[in-house]
Structure 1
Amino acid sequence: MADEGATPFSPIENQVMDALKKVIDPELGIDLVNLGLIYDVRVDDAGVCTVTMTLTTMGCPLSDLLNEQITQAVLSVNAVEECKINLVWEPAWNISKMSRFARLALGIHG
C-alpha cells in the first residue's frame, strides 16, 4: 500500500495489487496485501514491476516460496514483463499495518 502523499497507483499497478491479494501467507492464511507486507508497487514504461515489501520476521523460512508466488502473481498482469522484489526492513512491520479484515480474521481487536 502506497504511503500517504505518494504518487497514486496507475491502473496497471492497481492490477498488480489485485494479483498480489491472491498470494497467501501460508502461516497466517491471509494475503500479503491485507497483512500490510506490500509497501509499494511501481511499474515502469518498460513493464518492469518493483514490489517493495517486508516480511513479518527477518529470516522468514517462507521467503523463497513467497518470492516465487509474488513473481507469478505480478507476471500474471498483462503489461508486466519483469518482477523485481525490493525486500526492506524499514519501516518495520507490525500489526498496525494489517487491514481491518486481517486483524478480524486473526482475532486481533483494537
Structure 2
Amino acid sequence: MSEQRLIIEMGMGNDLHGMDYTKAAKRAIEDAFRHSSLPIFGVVEMPHEMMRVQVTVAVQEPDLLDLAALRATLPRGRAEVTAVHGGLNVPSGDETIVIAQASVEAFLPKQSGWSLKD
C-alpha cells in the first residue's frame, strides 16, 4: 500500500554533561513533537495505528544510541527509528556537549473518499 507523508518536523536536543547520546536524541525528538499537532485523527475518526512514524536521529556516535528506548518515547503510531552520523560534539573544558538532531515524519496510507467535517 502506498503512503503519503502527512507531517515532517525537526528538532534539536543536547546533553551538556555526560555525553549521553540517547538522552540528547530523546530531547531532539521531544523538541520536534513540540512543533506539531495532528488533529486529523479526531476530525476523520481515524485510529492512530494507521500512522507510520519514521524518526531519523543524527549524532556523532550513532552506534551508541539505544534505539529501543527512543522508539518507546513515540506516543502514537507504528514507530521506526533510524540512527545516522551527524549532530555535533562540542568540547567544553574537560567535558563534551553532545548535540543531536531529529527528523520526525508521519505517514498515512493514501486517502480517498472522505472530506473534512464541518
- The structure with the largest strand share of the pair is 2
Query: Which protein is bigger by CA-based radius of gyration?
Result: 2
TM-score scaled by length of structure 1: 0.38
Greater RCO, 1 or 2 (C-alpha within 8 Å, sep 6+): 2
